[in-house]
Structure 1
């Protein structure tokens, strides 16, 4: 709940840059316990007296303090299940974990929901959350929440096999016992599971709980089921002995692993170290850590760090050694990695703050991207510490540690921000430390404290807060006065003179407070009290701040007919104005007539107002007089002009003063033209023609059009627009320069692309080019035989900026790797055993530009094919399939081997491959595809390969074979893809081969699919070629649906129809 308030408030404003528009009151709805004065530390002596006078001694017991919070937490009645789930998912996505404040409303909603229900997938998500990702709870509380979700899913009959896996994972994570595992196996069988699938997980639960007896029983069950023990199973057995205190038993397990020939990886080594840690054998753990230094994965290190929670004694030095085992890639970034955050929060909730401090202290300096907030590192700690109700001293110590190590130079500000949200008085010791360390404080830091004190002490609390601000040397600014001070002092401002004295006593100068008080009184229609107040002080008044409120008063004056008093008020205010030559009265009249049409149509009121202005000796500028006449003319009828209008114009001439000048007018009406950023490319083309015809400024439109044309690959038009921009000397924004660079990359003009990249980096060093543009530029470098330059470019970007990668740049990475493959094929001195594409793929994967994907693995096989080494290509294909379970370039490889097997002499010469070798390689490829995807899916791919490269007889034999089973859904998807790629010949051969067979492949459906693709791309010539091809087949009867679609396409493009088509369509 509290963290959500903090997140919402952070979206509005960061602490050092809070805007005065933020409504702090909405975030401070509850009263929090006052922090007693004796809890404050680091307080300068000069502030101690202020501290004592600030707090009123109030005593609370624990139930009084907690009561408002409990009431708030239990008030879930009006929140729907969908809302609760949405809030929980949003919080989890933002933080990586949840708290009880998000979880309890959802559990409450589940018990009361009548119509809305969870899905099985949502159930899996909630079970994971409850079991392992509510870090602020103890294991018993986690499992209690877990059981409530579990019972709900059972009641709704939503339990699936994977839910049992999640349950066992939660029991293992929380070290909770499983009393009757046979019951779990029986329930698992009832949902379609097999006992063998669950034994390893059950053994892990028994091991985590230190239950040797249960572990032994499970081992017997696994032996009876003839299950081979894996490394993880041995590790679970080690945990069972280790957590039961039997270290000798752990050694026996390790010896058994060696005897069984099971490889001991870093998982086993880390388990041994963690067991020694938990059994108070730090020296033995150090020896093992040193022995296997540098071999541990991140998960192994996190496992060892989590064991600190249950270690009776552990040294800070050993903790630092563990943290140093993390790889550079894992710790690179601008925040503590999520897994390590989990550990830190758990350490905090187990009262092991010194160990948490050691972990944070050992982490390296964060790597902040350009133009990124530098206050994120370690901020999660402050949220957790406030949830855990840590003392303000502990919070300050962590903040100082982060600041002194320069990991987060704004840590104290973050702590102050959270204190202001949760318990505002708690912020004062943090402010003391900020002052002590020569940090600056700003007025808006005190807004939440001001609202808190107002709720506690009413108007006296506001005055006290102003005194606190002055003691900290913070001057109260105008936004603070207008929004947080004066609106709360309704009783104090009943007597403005007394109010001014109170403000002076609190340290505010009259010159600062007088104008805001006058503005507030005018806004509250207490304007009759203003003139006496102004006359008593010699302070200058800022009339610019009073024009708007005076217009509001003038409307009230029109209704009450108090023009005489209003004139005196204007005279008093004008006598104290700072600028003697500026026409504030004229500006006020213009604003009044412009914003109040009723006033401008009431000539009597206008005349009376101008007359009173003349009586008190005030004047207006000639420019203001002319503007007022124009405004009056617009709102008057011809009849009304003849009555009082001449009198008003006469008065305006009489009060005109040439010595006065009108201040700048900001009330001009603007035209509502659609902004170019919201226009389509066609709309901007029309807008550009209009602007050029009128001789108006078209620079912004040209800049936007250039970016859109490059994005849509309209490169010729983009070049034309660029030439126009050069002729008009349009200022090049960073986005425009990036688009020009991308345009030259797409045009394969390396020199120009390099020039604009250099220009962009020199003029806008902080601008971050999109990843896909950067990768395409690297591909162009590779195509120009600059492989090392491309690698250096990509590596430098990853050093200074966070790489996103993923599916967003999948196509660009594929293009880059394909370029590498082509360059490798052209390289004469490249050893046969090297695969340049594979090396480059590993390089990109390490930097984060890509992940393992079927698309990005394709160029690794293609390089071998381009180099003419077919056996090596098949070997590469098999290796990738076995390693990653992907089959890249499957269709191309199968098609090539089928063609070689049919004695294609050209290809046999190119690849130096005989018929027999091709048949052998085809058998190997189909075998490995079958292992990965299954025989049915393999047959579907093989069928398309024969349609592409085989003979009609071969294709027909496959289709008529009843034992040749295919994945019909997969085949249809592949046919649709080939149709979009324009593989007309392949699909027509497949259709002819399936003619007359009762298989899923319908001949006419394939022809219709091809035609629909031509219709989408408006390719009528390709559609006509398809029709002519089908027309020559005497055995085929073209469907009327096909004919109608083709006729409509030709008519849309005004193309003459062939006579045979016209006859079929019955249009002749």
Structure 2
């Protein structure tokens, strides 16, 4: 029917009728699509009315596309109504319709897209719901395809007039800023006719103009801002403009004149301008500018460049320049009471990176006196305490502090703090170490602090320090309680001292016969014995502890470690043996009531086979466990192994056999986890070991259903395992599909980096995504989370990231 052979269609239908073969919904779907393709609109409309409700989704979409292309309005209305309510009322346009709109845009059928959208219900937003998401993907696609501006504006105006997206023009500007910068200025001028523009709207334009045209391009953007009556703010100037004008700023007076000619007020410009000069160590220019112009300065925002310059160069000449500048800045401060000099001193003594000793602080105070820089009483008191701690305060320092003190000056509230005395029980490791040093210097009793410090060092894995503290305890003849001996026992286990751990355990049993060592410590000791090859001894220890009573499932993580160590020992000592020591030990632990046949604990059983390169045995064990216990340990790894074998020429398991085994295991696991979760595991396995066409094929299959929560959990494990490429491949192959969302995969990676405070890896990922030529979209949410991560860790935020965040 699609190729126009209508006679053949009638023949096939007659043959089916003669053979009593009923026409199913698939056949009716093809007939309706064929009718629309061949201009038999009345027949197609009739078929939709009679059989539309039973049509498969794939036929509905195909028929809707043909009806739209051929402007069969009645068919369009009927077909749209066949979709479920939740699909029709999706406030951001359901992926089914989004994908169809993308196809129509690629065919340059812009009016047809508006026709389709007009048939969809007008979205209803709740108060807290994002109201500018409707049609975003369509606008982005139009901008990306560089459609004529009039066509883009028709779509924007349609969305605004039909109350589908009142901010459609803002969305278009945002999309142009990210993917089609040459269209951006025209859209800004259109937006200016409706509202006042904000400075950050011009950030992308500044960055792109500088890349293409250099400093003249940046100045041209400032001219455009003046023409659109948009005044640059301090952030725009300090982050996006001034750092890009190295040549222009060589002559500060000429530079300020150019800024004034472009409508930037000196009062707005002066603080970021001075800050920029300070960062460049241009003290003379700062003094000249502050004398020439009467504008006041926000001195609080100038503290960090001053800290930098006072830190990188601690010479007397530099301190003289710093003092001169501080004096000049104080004279032009918006708040004449702000203690700029005092805040600088407090930052220098509190900032560990500055590494200022008492001598350099004294030298700076001397320069402050010579240049009449006053400091507040609060700062004086803090400095006195600082010098007193190091026992370096002398008559000269005391004189300087008295001379410099000015009661009128104040510090920002965030600089004011009170010291809090912490009880030793609540002290951190660093506080306990300081307390121990104080007690030792005064020859006071240290036993209580040593007990607390020993237990804390073991708990926080400061093992080398714990050994030293243990020696101090022995020297001080600290009486070891049962709890402290348990900590010493744990220390020897963590240091893998098998003999010492055994002796300490025996000491506990002899000295405190009624004391029960935590079962997880016993299991860790058994793991150490297994790792060292003393598996019978490990069984003996475990059996003795089990006789005193256990709580099943209380130490599964430790049991998993024990089983893993056993698997590794077995693979190293008996690599050709078919006996599975891990399976025997797990059954032993289950019999002793340590645990049950948990899915996680069964993992090392399969792992032992894999470590021995016994793939057939691993598959057989997996199948047996799945059949008998309805557990699927290392399911993803097993699937990945089989996928890898289907694409290789392993002589032991040829590709055909691997495919058959994979199909068999899919059928078994589907009965346990259901076909959806099993297919999701297969998707991740294909991303790891398969090819991109294989992965894309399964994702594009309309019958493939994705359990987002399940697949993202698998991706978290992949990120933890360092398999970033696998997750990125999933995101890449998922792009543009209706049943999976590419942004979710990137969010999983960013979540892990935030958890680990891994700024370097996060920035590297951003750069990688940028370098991929928009193969993967960087969302605003992704950029904002990245900025939060970098700012929390005091990491410099590249300006490109801020563009995406806006």
Considering only CA atoms, is the larger Rg found in Structure 1 or Structure 2? 1
